[in-house]
């Protein structure tokens, strides 16, 4: 099996948008591969459920309510991760989404909101954990 070659034993990972879909799958696979995982979501109940599932398979997990578009919330998540686990080895910038419909009819505000969620948030998370 491929996971035998994909050991993350002793690593600490933050997975943004881990409350559902691809982010949830990444968080679980990382834990199965041996990592301790910070589950980051805008829905605390989803983050808590993911963290509980990771703890059930024997790894440390932290659930964190965080809107990755907000610098202060991201900084708080990073600080708590470092306090609890000592470091950050992996950052998965998975949180994202967007407006649907014809681009030519998209209001500028919707476009800017999409940029904030899908591009600026990656910068915010990267800068917050960089150098740790």
Domain count of the fold of the chain: 1
Q: List the domain range (segments joined by +) for residue 29.
A: 2-129
For the beta sheet containing 90-92, the strands, ordered from the edge strand earlier in sequence to the opposite edge, are 61-65, 36-41, 12-16, 90-92
Residue 124: helix, strand or coil by DSSP? helix
Residue 90: helix, strand or coil by DSSP? strand
Read off the pLDDT of residues 20-39 as tens digits, 9 standing for 90 and up.
899 999 999 999 999 999 99
The whole-number pLDDT of residue 88 equals 95
Angle of helix 21-32 relative to helix 44-56, nearest 10 degrees, comes to 20
Residues, the chain = 132
- 10-residue stretch averages of pLDDT, the chain, 132 residues long: 77 94 95 96 91 95 93 94 95 88 85 86 84 54
Q: How far is CA 121 from CA 1, 32, 38, in A?
A: 34, 27, 17
CATH of the domain at 109: 3.40.50.720
The whole-number pLDDT of residue 131 equals 55
């Amino acid at each position: 099996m491929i996971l035998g070659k994909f050991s993350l034993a002793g690593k600490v990972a933050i997975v943004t948008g881990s409350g559902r879909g691809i982010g949830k799958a990444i968080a679980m696979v990382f834990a199965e591969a041996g990592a301790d995982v910070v589950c980051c979501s805008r829905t605390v109940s989803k983050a808590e459920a993911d963290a509980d599932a990771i703890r059930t398979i024997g790894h440390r997990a932290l659930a964190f309510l965080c809107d990755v578009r907000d610098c202060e919330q991201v900084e708080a998540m990073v600080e708590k991760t470092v306090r609890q686990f000592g470091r950050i080895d992996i950052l998965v910038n998975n949180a994202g989404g967007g407006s649907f419909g014809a681009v030519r009819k998209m209001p500028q505000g919707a476009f800017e909101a999409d940029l904030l969620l899908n591009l600026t948030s990656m910068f915010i998370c990267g800068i917050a954990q960089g150098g740790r």
